[in-house]
Structure 1
Amino acid sequence: MNKKAVGVVGAGMAVMMGVAGCSSSSSPDSGEAGGEAVTVFHRWTAGHQEAVESVLESCSDELGIPVDISNVPQADYEVQLPVALSSNNPPDIYALWPGGRAVFQAENGLIAPITDFYNEKIAPTFAEGVNAGATEADGEVYVMPFNVQPAEFYYRTDAFEANGLEEPETWDEFVDVVDTLVDAGDTPIVLATGSGWEPLFWFDTLIMRTAGPEFRERLMLGEESYLDPKVVEAMEHWAELIDAGAFNDSMTSMSWEEMVPFMVDGRADMMFMASFASNNLTTAGLVPGEDFKAFPFPTIDPDVEYATDGAMEGWATTGARDNEEDVHAILECFVSTPEATAYVEDFQVPSPNVEVPETAFAEDVRPFAAGWAAMTQQGVFQQNLELSTAPAVTDVAKRELPRFLANPDDMMMVLEELESASQAAYSE
């Protein structure tokens, strides 16, 4: 475990830095200067660690609130977090995702709701879809998101131009695109299932497009059945693509990183993935806006509320110590417009703060920034299945959905496995 203590700033200096450093209308109120350090526990390393800790240090200096930062790698975080939360000295702030895991921690008294603080101080500058996604089914907010990564289709422009194709907006148009590319001898879509989580974006979004985000949220919480006709309909749409030859072979032996070369060398024309994929495609040599572009998952039923699937990373609080004012001041500062802008400039991922200017993104990322903003501001933004439901259900989904993709005739057996896992997880 790595630890970093950010030094204490005196009260007088804190006041001056608070005035000078937080000029935006969304700047936070100053906390109690010079007090006991606010402890922060996170899982990020390398470039993301630098971006996160740079903001924390800036907020510490600005507010005069010392911060004690600890981090462990992602692979160890899932093991060490429960230990840290159950200890006699749990962290004040810790990295978490909105969704099922946060609700589970709330049910076990490990997390403090931040609903009133969030609605008053945070929500006004956040995208409406993010606010909806951060609010759990019980009406509480437990996690303050600070980045959002919506899932969308990335496509090779040369394949679309060569076949006279335009970005599809409806499911029928999308199927026509797939059929055209198949007829041209192309592999329309690359998908990997080697790690199990890659197809979860597909399952989530198909449920959203056929049954709506409210049904999908209840499904994640064990309040709807995986055998419901709405789920079956979503799976049938997926099977339609499989039968049409939309996907690549050998997906079970591939990891998500291996999807990128398929796009780069033209072995596939599209991929459906969270926004971080744009950076991978760019790093691999494709030019954004020229070699590849993006479009949101098409509408299936126009009467169903629009929603976006993806990932939101955020901060949760334990409320274990009598320092709520300082904790909330750090959180508010972290997503204030100046600090959120600095974070985006450093790490190049979308912020939920709608006041962050598009110029915070590098020029080669800006072609996608407007689309990401639109997706987070339209309808509901929901956390992907891996982070929205009970871990036991996630494990089954990561095993069974790849099975379905390899053998679509097993659809009902796959759904029965998911329903059994859901009932077991939520009947306790």
Structure 2
Amino acid sequence: MKKIKWGKSIVLVSATSIMLALTACGGNNENNKGAIGTTSPAASEAPKEKVTLRVATAYTPDHPFGPAIDQILTEFTAKYPEVTIEKEFLPVAELDKKLTVDRATNNLPEVFVIFPGASTADYAKENKIIDLTEYLNSHIDWKDGFISGALDSLRFDGFTGIYAAPLGAYSTGFYYNKELFQTAGVEPPKTWDELLAVIDKLKAAGVTPMTIGASESWRAEHLYTALFYKWNGTEKAKQILSRELPYSSPEAIEPFQRMVELVDAGAFDKRYIALNYAGEVADFNNGKAAMRFSGSWAVGESTGPNSPQGFGDKVGFFPFPYFTEKEEHKDSWMGGVSDSFAISTKAEGHQKDMAIELVKTLTSSASSKIIIEKAQDLTAVKAEVDPEKSGKLIAEVSKAMSTGKEFAGDVSAFEPVKAANTKLYDLTQAVLVKGVTPEDAAKQLDAEVAKAQ
């Protein structure tokens, strides 16, 4: 879930819509009776022949959604005993590689997770995944259960359909240790200059200001994306796709420069270059750093069973600080729809019926309730959630998101050239560890794009 990719037809999702995931806006009452949604006519009338569904996701036991997804799948096979589910659950990077091979060999699983982005458009172009429009329109309670704008992120230029059902929704911002902030006598910053001042005061108090797993390139790319939107707004990213905005433009270089500014300000300790994501989580949860920039999935990481007892009560959240000289973009956020379920066109007959029924179930209001309460994370599906179960921090994140006006995913998702996309990840990481200058990084990216033209 960490490498969030968006497509050519990006939809900027309103924070008000995303808030619905945590409010009493659940869909049809039938859909709220249990984790299993209402049975489609095709599923109920089909012969009970035995079928196997290969399901490929990143929802491993260690993933925040993992326990909830496992419960939902167990309930599904109990209701439909003729269905055998073969789990192909892998971490995101490994899942990407596996699906690339499966796609090339025409051996895709019947149900698998995709991320809105150019590569997903290619799945549709190659007729590898089915258009869900017909099934959504015939089950309005399912279609209306998604937050506003969520389904639009699964539409692609040149295609009229909806090619997956979204499940994950996310936001990004700063999580902070309230006790360490109190020790340094600081408050959550609202502007970039205030953030730099907070960093100075935390250092003076003997506290490491921030932690980041810089050895994993997606951490740097997420930071670049958040800075890009706060400086340029989300619409500007589309100019990368259209090639109106080269990487050597001032707008694209500025976020790189701000990353270096954080390093030069002493935001991180000396270990950050070699630190991985697990180390980042551990540093923050063990009080070794006062802040971490991350996504809404971090709520479960700081409040779940694997975090220190009671630590979640010490954690607060604030939006990514804005630049006073670019105040018009203060409400531009990195966030929106993330992982979504697609169905392979290889699925036929009762197997296809059950694949559709499974995706309906996984993206139902009842399943969303289970996921939010167990994972303490956001989803793209409306649900009635018990705050005592979901936790106070996810409510704080949701409240902060209500200040946002526009949302978009990774800047890298606007880069259609695979080699340049990969290089963007590598170079944001290189800039963050000061292995290359912002200007040199920009030149290398433009050169990679030029090779493909």
- Find the counterpart in structure 1 of residue 430 from structure 2: 403
Partner SS, residue 198 of structure 1? helix
Q: Find the aligned partners of 2:388 and 2:144 in 1 and give their Cα distance.
A: 20
Moved more, 126-135 or 307-316: 126-135
Question: For the Cα contact (< 8 Å) 1:65–1:326, is it kept in 2?
Answer: no
Report % sequence identity: 20
1:80 maps to 2:108: no
CA change 1:420–1:29 in 2 (3 A) is farther
Q: Find the aligned partners of 1:202 and 1:289 in 2 and give their Cα distance.
A: 23
1:299 maps to 2:322: yes
Question: For the Cα contact (< 8 Å) 1:190–1:247, is it kept in 2?
Answer: yes
- Find the counterpart in structure 2 of residue 342 from structure 1: 370
Quote how far apart the aligned CAs of 1:99 are: 1.9
Paired letter, 1:302: E
Moved more, 242-251 or 87-96: 87-96
Quote how far apart the aligned CAs of 1:351 are: 1.8
Paired letter, 2:148: E
Partner SS, residue 247 of structure 1? coil
For normalisation by structure 1, the TM-score amounts to 0.79
- Map residues 23-422 of structure 1 onto 2, 5 A cutoff: 23=33, 27-28=37-38, 30-32=40-42, 33=44, 34-35=46-47, 37=51, 39-43=53-57, 44-46=59-61, 48=65, 51-59=68-76, 66=83, 68-74=85-91, 76-87=94-105, 90-114=108-132, 122=142, 124-128=144-148, 130-131=150-151, 133-136=153-156, 141-219=162-240, 224-282=245-303, 283-285=306-308, 287-288=310-311, 290-300=313-323, 301-304=326-329, 306-309=332-335, 312-321=338-347, 327-359=355-387, 361-362=389-390, 365-372=391-398, 375=401, 378-384=404-410, 389=415, 391-407=418-434, 410-422=437-449
Moved more, 318-327 or 393-402: 318-327
Question: For the Cα contact (< 8 Å) 1:102–1:111, is it kept in 2?
Answer: no
Partner SS, residue 430 of structure 2? helix
Which sections of structure 2, spanning at least 5 residues, go unmatched?
Answer: 1-28
Question: For the Cα contact (< 8 Å) 1:218–1:224, is it kept in 2?
Answer: yes
Partner SS, residue 297 of structure 1? coil
Q: Find the aligned partners of 2:94 and 2:435 in 1 and give their Cα distance.
A: 35
Q: Find the aligned partners of 1:45 and 1:191 in 2 and give their Cα distance.
A: 23
Q: Find the aligned partners of 1:281 and 1:295 in 2 and give their Cα distance.
A: 15
Paired letter, 1:41: V
Partner SS, residue 401 of structure 2? helix
Moved more, 154-163 or 211-220: 211-220
Paired letter, 1:293: G
CA change 1:394–1:292 in 2 (3 A) is same
- Find the counterpart in structure 2 of residue 13 from structure 1: none
Q: Find the aligned partners of 1:402 and 1:316 in 2 and give their Cα distance.
A: 31
Q: Find the aligned partners of 1:137 and 1:169 in 2 and give their Cα distance.
A: 37
- Quote the RMSD (CA, aligned, Å): 3.7
Quote how far apart the aligned CAs of 1:255 are: 0.7
Partner SS, residue 188 of structure 1? coil
Quote how far apart the aligned CAs of 1:415 are: 1.5
Quote how far apart the aligned CAs of 1:315 are: 0.5
Q: Find the aligned partners of 1:208 and 1:59 in 2 and give their Cα distance.
A: 40
For normalisation by structure 2, the TM-score amounts to 0.75
Q: Find the aligned partners of 2:440 and 2:388 in 1 and give their Cα distance.
A: 47
Paired letter, 2:266: G
CA change 1:415–1:424 in 2 (3 A) is same
Quote how far apart the aligned CAs of 1:198 are: 1.4
Question: For the Cα contact (< 8 Å) 1:133–1:382, is it kept in 2?
Answer: no
Q: Find the aligned partners of 2:112 and 2:142 in 1 and give their Cα distance.
A: 18
Question: For the Cα contact (< 8 Å) 2:150–2:337, is it kept in 1?
Answer: no
Higher relative contact order (CA 8 A, sep 6+): 2
Paired letter, 2:299: S
CA change 1:223–1:62 in 2 (3 A) is farther
Quote how far apart the aligned CAs of 1:150 are: 2.5
- Find the counterpart in structure 2 of residue 3 from structure 1: none
Partner SS, residue 112 of structure 1? coil
Q: Find the aligned partners of 2:147 and 2:244 in 1 and give their Cα distance.
A: 27
Deviations 1:246-304 (A, max 9, x none): 22223221111112343244432111112333333343416355322111212333323
CA change 1:46–1:163 in 2 (3 A) is closer
Paired letter, 1:148: A
Quote how far apart the aligned CAs of 1:396 are: 1.6
Quote how far apart the aligned CAs of 1:161 are: 1.6
Moved more, 325-334 or 145-154: 325-334
Moved more, 102-111 or 381-390: 381-390
Partner SS, residue 211 of structure 2? coil
Partner SS, residue 321 of structure 2? coil
Moved more, 30-39 or 405-414: 30-39
CA change 1:377–1:192 in 2 (3 A) is same
